[in-house]
Amino acid sequence: MSEIVARLGGKVLGDSETEIFQVATLEKAAPGNIAFLANAKYRKQLADSRASAVIVAESDAGLTGLPRIVAPNPYSYFAKLSALLNPLPAMPPGIHPTAVIDAGAVIAPDAHIGAHVSIGAAACIGAGTVVMAGCVIGERTSVGTQCLLYPNVTIYHDCVIGHQVILHAGVVIGADGFGIAMDEGRWLKIPQIGRVVIGDQVEIGANTTVDRGALDDTVIEEGVKLDNQIQVAHNVRIGAHTAIAGCVGIAGSATIGKYCRIGGSAGILGHLQIADNVEIASFTLIGKSITEAGSYAGVYPFSKNDEWRNNAVHLRHLGELVKRVRAMEKEIELLKGEKI
Amino acid sequence: MSEIVARLGGKVLGDSETEIFQVATLEKAAPGNIAFLANAKYRKQLADSRASAVIVAESDAGLTGLPRIVAPNPYSYFAKLSALLNPLPAMPPGIHPTAVIDAGAVIAPDAHIGAHVSIGAAACIGAGTVVMAGCVIGERTSVGTQCLLYPNVTIYHDCVIGHQVILHAGVVIGADGFGIAMDEGRWLKIPQIGRVVIGDQVEIGANTTVDRGALDDTVIEEGVKLDNQIQVAHNVRIGAHTAIAGCVGIAGSATIGKYCRIGGSAGILGHLQIADNVEIASFTLIGKSITEAGSYAGVYPFSKNDEWRNNAVHLRHLGELVKRVRAMEKEIELLKGEKI
Amino acid sequence: MSEIVARLGGKVLGDSETEIFQVATLEKAAPGNIAFLANAKYRKQLADSRASAVIVAESDAGLTGLPRIVAPNPYSYFAKLSALLNPLPAMPPGIHPTAVIDAGAVIAPDAHIGAHVSIGAAACIGAGTVVMAGCVIGERTSVGTQCLLYPNVTIYHDCVIGHQVILHAGVVIGADGFGIAMDEGRWLKIPQIGRVVIGDQVEIGANTTVDRGALDDTVIEEGVKLDNQIQVAHNVRIGAHTAIAGCVGIAGSATIGKYCRIGGSAGILGHLQIADNVEIASFTLIGKSITEAGSYAGVYPFSKNDEWRNNAVHLRHLGELVKRVRAMEKEIELLKGEKI
């Protein structure tokens, strides 16, 4: 533990020579593990934990006799310690013989290019970047340094991926946006000639799709974190350090601010603007722009099916109900008036 | 038909030597086909069907003069008969020369490994398992016996897949869970060091994603059936024989019971517990734990756009409306009191 | 510009020798670009635009002194012009040496088959079709002429894809529908022996999935446009020229008419029928058949989280509230009666 605080800061209370091999939850920790207490509701678990040590805030330092590291933000301390104890396996530099690399592509000598990868003409792969098996990277696309592309990622032509970007398996970057125009009973395709531009330290979850711009670019700023199965339409801009949970759909040309947090399966309609620091609840459709930071929601509360049915049926007459209430209020005023 | 009942049970009424080549719906059946009647609303189609035979329940055996198989559950009888008549094509054992198999991987001699597959170090593929073209299987992952992996499936490192598991194209198992901690204006990544563990006879639909656990494992118990495009977050546990329709999102650390049935595009928030035998309607967000079996729903009823608009606008003032009703009730009580 | 109208029609006002190299938005246009005005709310941008020319409707022709093309539908004119200025790069005919093509497959001599593609026995690829890297095409599947399959598309066996079809990366066509029957505590799989049949000029977005039919076929008629991450279940039929936005889920055996427009993340329950020319708002669940053209919606309106909570809580008692209102109406009638 003394070695840990030497590298990550904080201070040790208790035996600072305790040996730590891995992080764990309070509940599942075994000897040699260090757990963390970041949420008051897990205090009960602290007493029963088999962890050899724990990371706590100053205010919780007295709750346990275990060897402990005291740090202002135990959860982020835990994140850093876990990264220290669980480094990614080093991938050997070089290009797998089954990869198909266009003669005009530029691959950094220490990049790792896995089996059955295809890389198009004039594409560029930066130093230390890992491209796993089955990825396909289009012509003139640039991938920065120290990126990690998991298997079967597809990036279309002419896109720009920053540094230290992580793309999980099945991600598709740069597919055509949904641009169509009705012409004499048929949809004409609008060529999608913009790009996707992704900033540094962005992480994108499995099977998420980010479409290329119609004319201008789709932009994901630095530090954005996207979960799995999200759909980002053409010409969307997502501000720096915004985090979006799984299955969210963002329609074309929406602009989302910085440091927003969007819950799972939420949606944002096209051409809207969302301010910085907006929090959107899961399953909420944002149907007009939000100009003020804060938390927003719009979810139908669930109940037993019968109860739901008995209540929901009246939603189709809510306007009428409001009119009936207004009418009664007038009647009552009249009745009260007659009294006097 | 006598051969069929000899293998699958049930009894034949009518000509038991009728020859059957394929299953079909009552509506589309041609001579040589056998149809089934499992739902009273299709009784009308029975009279007009060109099927050579039909599977019926005892109670419906008198509805037709066609040769028929009488069985307690015609739909499951049909399922078994269809499986008998439509066996999967046998895939030849062996490893395609374009596959890239780490020297330390263990592949059963009768497994089929398709073109352009990649299998990592110390991975293990069981007897009779088929891995189709373009699949990527990570280091130390174990896939059981008689599994069927359709093309372009990705399984990350250290996962455990049971026996007779079917994974459809584009499935991603074991991508990192969405674990991030805010630290001085930036998101730190929480290393995801748990696994995904999938039980026997699980089937997972196309492009569904199941994330690995943060510290402990994500677990899908035996017999679970997942449709397409589902997102299962880290540390979720799905109980045995639960069936989940397409596009559902299940947030981190949710625990779902056995024999649950979840409708399409529903959602379950993180850390909730859902009891066994719970049925959740399509499009319903479950926002707190469910401790009792039964059917649950929470869906906004649709209507013509104008009507919807006229009604929905009042939802933003529903609390106020309830207060107005309460106030009127008091007024009326007063008015009635004055009468006496 | 004279050359453009010679090819696409319309008439030029202003200097018809103005040279145009690319299309752009009014806002971002640079010299050499042509922009378009299709929506009155962008009129303000017209004055400030650096575009060299603009496409306008007759009624807007007087709004600018820029060289302009006057056309009845400026947006579809723009679509055609953009296609003219941005042709797809020609892909060289031939089969990449890393592709694995079954000896019994038939590949048109001028088709382009990319790296690491797999094509099964008796499959057929039409003239001028491009199959990009990593695609997998099953046995006996037929892909028409002039199709474009982006990387890592999977098409299962026995499917039929029309002419000039575009499938974006990660699309899965023909995976098994979600057909299961409960039998003594276990789900039996219903073999899915139908096909997927896709008409001409269909475009399907990244990671969208279209399941094969259980017994009969799943059908997508000509000119249908599907965005990303849509789930189309078994035995669905989508009528010609219908357009569906991202993340929509369509349950089994639903039939959707022609020229429908369905917003993002909407849903349609199984076995329903939707008439032609129906428009469905984003996030709306269609829970019963729609027999009449028109616009339909059912979305919970969002608000600040606190307000939402204060209002939504009453939804669980809406039926009761309606009863209270009815009771009061009677009381008021009584009170009024007593007056007389």
Q: Is B317 a catalytic residue?
A: no
CA distance B40 to chain C (A): 15
Torsion angle, alpha carbons of A87, A89, A95, A98, to 10: -140
CA distance C151 to C315: 47
CA distance C157 to C137: 7
Tokens 């917003």 sit on residue: C263
pLDDT for B143: 98
Torsion angle, alpha carbons of A238, A240, A245, A249, to 10: 0
Q: Determine the residue among B102, B155, B180, B332 to mutate to test chain A binding: the one whose Cβ has the most chain A Cβ atoms within 10 Å.
A: B180
Q: Strands A142-143, B186-189: parallel, antiparallel or unpaired by DSSP?
A: unpaired
In the structure, what pLDDT confidence band is assigned to residue B185 with cuts at 50, 70 and 90? very high
Smallest CA–CA distance from C100 into chain B, residue:
B115
Where is C280: in which H helix or E strand? strand C278-280
CA distance A40 to chain C (A): 24
Which chain C residues have a beta carbon less than 8 Å from that of A265?
A: 265
Q: Are A313 and B301 in contact (CB under 8 A)?
A: yes
Smallest CA–CA distance from B334 into chain C, residue:
C335
pLDDT for A336: 86
Per the structure block, which two tokens stand in for B259?
């024999």
pLDDT for A40: 86
Which chain A residues have a beta carbon less than 8 Å from that of C247?
A: 231, 247, 249, 267
Mean pLDDT computed over C249-268: 98
Whether the predicted model's global pTM rises above the 0.95 cut:
yes
Which chain B residues have a beta carbon less than 8 Å from that of A325?
A: 321, 324-325, 328
Q: Of B115, B170, B305, which has the smallest distance from its Cβ to C154's Cβ? A: B170
CA distance C45 to chain B (A): 32
Mean pLDDT computed over C202-225: 98
Segment B103-112, tens digit of pLDDT: 999 999 999 9
CA distance C113 to C134: 10
Helix (H, G, I), strand (E, B) or coil at C278: strand
Q: Is the pLDDT of residue A339 over 70?
A: no
Segment C309-337, tens digit of pLDDT: 999 999 999 999 999 999 999 999 999 88
Mean pLDDT computed over A64-77: 95
Which chain A residues have a beta carbon less than 8 Å from that of C151?
A: 118, 136, 154
Q: Which residues of A are catalytic?
A: 234
- Name the residue among C186, C188, C187, C155 with its Cα closest to residue C170: C155
What subunits touch chain B, counting only 3 or more CB pairs under 8 A? Answer: A, C
Per the structure block, which two tokens stand in for C65?
């002194």
CA distance B11 to A121: 66
Which chain B residues have a beta carbon less than 8 Å from that of A283?
A: 267, 285
CA distance C311 to chain A (A): 10
Task: Indicate yes or no: CB of C283 within 8 angstroms of CB of A267.
Answer: yes
Task: Indicate yes or no: CB of C228 within 8 angstroms of CB of A209.
Answer: yes
Q: Of C188, C249, C299, which has the smallest distance from its Cβ to B246's Cβ? A: C249
Smallest CA–CA distance from A28 into chain B, residue:
B216
pLDDT for A337: 84
Buried b (16+ CB within 10 A) or exposed e, B120-153: bebbbbbebbbbbbbbbbbbbbbbbbbbbbbbbb
Neighbouring C-beta atoms of residue C223, cutoff 10 Å: 23
Size of interface A-B (CB pairs under 8 A): 233
Q: Are C35 and C26 in contact (CB under 8 A)?
A: yes
Task: Indicate yes or no: CB of C311 within 8 angstroms of CB of B318.
Answer: yes
Which chain B residues have a beta carbon less than 8 Å from that of C284?
A: 300, 302
Q: Are C211 and C218 in contact (CB under 8 A)?
A: yes
- Helices (DSSP H) in chain C: which residue ranges? 2-8, 43-48, 74-85, 305-312, 318-339
**Mean of per-residue pLDDT scores for chain A:** 96
Smallest CA–CA distance from B190 into chain A, residue:
A79
Q: Determine the residue among B25, B100, B280, B283 to mutate to test chain C binding: the one whose Cβ has the most chain C Cβ atoms within 10 Å.
A: B283
Task: Indicate yes or no: CB of B168 within 8 angstroms of CB of C172.
Answer: yes
Tokens 């899965």 sit on residue: C172
Segment A71-106, tens digit of pLDDT: 999 999 999 999 999 999 889 999 999 999 999 999
Listed in sequence order, the residues at least 6 apart from C70 whose beta carbon sits closer than 8 Å to its beta carbon are C10, C11, C12, C13, C56, C57, C58, C61
Tokens 């049926």 sit on residue: A313
Q: Strands A186-189, A180-183: parallel, antiparallel or unpaired by DSSP?
A: antiparallel
Q: Is the dihedral of CA A63, A67, A72, A73 positive or negative?
A: negative
Q: Of C223, C229, C306, which has the smallest distance from its Cβ to A231's Cβ? A: C229
CA distance B276 to chain C (A): 13
CA distance A193 to chain C (A): 8
CA distance A252 to A176: 12
CA distance C258 to C246: 18
Segment C272-309, tens digit of pLDDT: 999 999 999 999 999 999 999 999 999 999 999 999 99
pLDDT for A129: 98
In the structure, what pLDDT confidence band is assigned to residue B40 with cuts at 50, 70 and 90? confident
Segment A111-168, tens digit of pLDDT: 999 999 999 999 999 999 999 999 999 999 999 999 999 999 999 999 999 999 999 9
Question: Angle C318-339/A318-339 helices, nearest 10 degrees?
Answer: 30
Q: Of C187, C231, C310, which has the smallest distance from its Cβ to B229's Cβ? A: C231
The DSSP annotation for C117-160 comes to: -EE-TT-EE-TT-EE-TT-EE-TT-EE-TT-EE-TT-EE-TT-E
**Mean of per-residue pLDDT scores for chain C:** 96
Segment A182-235, tens digit of pLDDT: 999 999 999 999 999 999 999 999 999 999 999 999 999 999 999 999 999 999
Which chain C residues have a beta carbon less than 8 Å from that of B241?
A: 185-187
